[in-house]
Amino acid sequence: MPRRSLLGIFLAGTVLVGCGQSGVPVLAPTPAGVALSQCTALIKALPVKLAGQSKRSALPPSSFTTAWGTDPITLRCGVGKPDAFDAQSQLLRINNTEWFVQAGSAATTFTLVNRLAYVEITVPQSYSPQADVITDLSGTIDKNVEFPRS
């Protein structure tokens, strides 16, 4: 078989394999400073399973995002402060972590607000109660994302 034909078959196979990726689209944040190291540690420490769901890759690949499940729970570390968050916002406190909660029709987004890095976790409505996911992750987050120094 001519070289050109083999190259064409290889490239076509590569494209087909690439189309079968099981990654989840997640907008990648760009943490800086101390948040960068905190997020790196957190992502490495996250569980392989969450809410009975297996970990999945996030697309585009990022060192600061991950996902679990077919109806994916997503986590982004190093996001910015939520626009709607202010000093008067009500927070959900779970195991030494404080979360700003934004409920939507399809999912609820929990943003960690009392640490050196903002961590955003989006939990689809199919998981009930959604805060259980936060409870399951709070210990890992508490160990890996530090409080600001006073």
Output the DSSP codes for 28-89. PP---THHHHHHHHHHHHS-SEETTEEEE-EES--TTEEEETTTTEEEEEEEPPPTT--TT-
Residues 103-112: what's their mean pLDDT?
97
Q: pLDDT (tens digit, 9 = 90+) per residue, 27-43?
A: 999 999 999 999 999 99
Would 84 be classed as within a structural domain?
yes
Structural domain that includes position 51: 23-144
State the total domains in the chain: 1
Would 8 be classed as within a structural domain?
no
**Distance, CA of 104 to CA of 109 (rounded, Å):** 8
Would 29 be classed as within a structural domain?
yes
Would 104 be classed as within a structural domain?
yes
Would 149 be classed as within a structural domain?
no
Q: Check whether 11 has a pLDDT greater than 90.
A: no
The percentage of residues in the chain with a pLDDT greater than 70, rounded to a whole number, is 85
Would 4 be classed as within a structural domain?
no
Would 10 be classed as within a structural domain?
no
Would 17 be classed as within a structural domain?
no
Residues 12-38: what's their mean pLDDT?
74
Residues 75-79: what's their mean pLDDT?
98
